[in-house]
Every structure is written in C-alpha cells, then in structure tokens.
Amino acid sequence: MTALRVFVFGGAFAYRALFNWIHPAMFIPALIGLPLFQIVFFVYLGRSNGKEPDSFFIVGNAVQSCAMASVYGSVMVIANDRLFGTLPFVVTSPANRFALFFGRAAPLVVNGLLISVFGFLAGRLLFDYSPVSSALPELLLVLVIVVASCTAFGLVIGTAGLRAREPILVAGLTYSLMLLLCGVNVPVDQLPPGLEAVGRILPLTHGIAAARELATGADLGDVSGSILAEVAIGGVYAAVAFVLFRVVEARARRDGTLEAI
C-alpha cells in the first residue's frame, strides 16, 4: 500500500510542483497549440505533394503529438528536480524506488493520451476525418501503449541528462528526430536504410503504423506484430531508464556528489 501511495500521490505532487506549464497560459500554447498547428501544416503540405491522403498526416501527427508531453515532460520531471534543488531529497528518500521513479511518469502518460485524442478531434473538426468507429477502442489501446513507450524513452534521456548541462536541448533534438524518422509524415520504408533502422528502434514508429491500419478498419490481430514491437521497445527503454537512474544514484552516493547530481 505504501508503494502504491508513493506511485499515485508522489507522481501527482511532483507533476504539480515541477511543471511550469501547469498554468493554462503555458499549457495551452505548448501542449495544445503546437500539435494543432503541426497537424494543419503537414496536412496542407501533404496536399501540395499529393502522394498521401489527409488521413496519413492526421493519424501520424495526432499520435506523434503525445511526444510533446511524454518526452519533454519526462525530461523536465527529472531536470526540474535538479534545477530546484529537490533531487537530493528524492534520491535519499527511503521510498520504493520503482514507485517513486515511475509514479512521476504516470501523469505524463495521461497528459500525452489527452493530447493525442485532441489531435484526432482536431482532424475531425478541421478536415472532417475520423477513424472507423468500430476501431476506436483498439485505437485507444494503441495510443496508451505509444504514450507509455514515449514516456519511457523520455525517462532515459532525462536520467542520462542528470550528468548533462542542458538535457532539455537533447529532448528538443530527439523530438525533431522522432518527427522525421518515425513515419509521422514520411513512410519509414522510404528513408535511407540507416535512418530507417534508427526509426524502427524508436518509440512511435510501430504504434503509428498500427494506428493507421486500425483507423481504416483493420482488426487488432492484423496489427498485433506492430503492437507487440511497440510494447517491447517501450519495455526496453523503461528498463534502461530505471537501471540508469539506480546507477547514477549509486555513483552519487559513493562519490558524495548528491548536491551536484
């Protein structure tokens, strides 16, 4: 029960305390405005190109928009702990490490899911596009998996950034690479082989492929391979993030550098 309380309440308190965008004046432009204009931009760009339908860009960008909250958010939840000087207290806390670490990521999953759902709603309102209604539950499941996978990836960057000066810059670069390499606006198989290989080990790629097929009426079994690949990738990144956090924590304790972590 104690671990559950740490997971739920610790994550909620950290989210409220560490995020500058919790105020609507910051939240709306950063997490609503940017994804909205991204969808509009790429839909019209795609129309000028003429090779892919609107649905290709709406689904791709609606799913990818969750990365704004999950990747950036995961980096910020760790970077702001260091910035505000609260990280040594987190590290020295006797609380369950698993609950403490992943509890801070849970609100980001919810946040990212809401942003992706908003992206699909924007596609409906602005471009009269909507997925096949019978596929909505399966599509929601894929969105949850994708957001969780992106959040785990962000935790890797954020934890590695404990030893970097500006981890938020790394998050920005990574977000741009995901936009380019994960099949959001360019099919992955049209990328150069090296970039295609990178894209296939990043979060989003397999989830976006599954979401596009489900949105056109495919069954869950038809996309099970892509879903399992996304789950596996997210699980690997989550494990790497947790192990990396424990390594950084152990090194800081050993070297007496908790204040400089």
Kindly state the average pLDDT of the residues 175-195.
90
The answer to whether residue 119 scores a pLDDT higher than 60 is yes
- State the helix-helix crossing angle for 224-255 and 205-215, rounded to 10 degrees: 150
| pTM, entire model | 0.86
The answer to whether residue 256 scores a pLDDT higher than 70 is no
Instruction: For residues 120 and 228, give the distance between their C-alpha atoms in angstroms, rounded to a whole number.
Output: 23
Q: What is the pLDDT of residues 53-93, one digit of tens each?
A: 899 999 999 999 888 778 887 887 777 777 777 776 666 77
Q: What string of DSSP letters covers 220-247?
A: GGGGHHHHHHHHHHHHHHHHHHHHHHHH
- Supply the pLDDT for residue 205: 94
How buried is residue 194: exposed, middle or buried, by Cβ count under 10 Å (0-12/13-18/19+)?
A: exposed
Instruction: For residues 164 and 149, give the distance between their C-alpha atoms in angstroms, rounded to a whole number.
Output: 23
Q: What is the pLDDT of residues 137-167, one digit of tens each?
A: 999 999 999 999 999 998 888 888 776 667 7
Query: With bands split at pLDDT 50, 70 and 90, how would you rate the model's confidence at 10?
Result: low
Query: With bands split at pLDDT 50, 70 and 90, how would you rate the model's confidence at 27?
Result: low
- State the helix-helix crossing angle for 136-160 and 167-181, rounded to 10 degrees: 140
- Supply the pLDDT for residue 35: 83
**Is residue 69 a contact partner of residue 112, using CB atoms and an 8 Å limit?**
yes
- Supply the pLDDT for residue 69: 79
How buried is residue 74: exposed, middle or buried, by Cβ count under 10 Å (0-12/13-18/19+)?
A: buried
- Supply the pLDDT for residue 203: 92
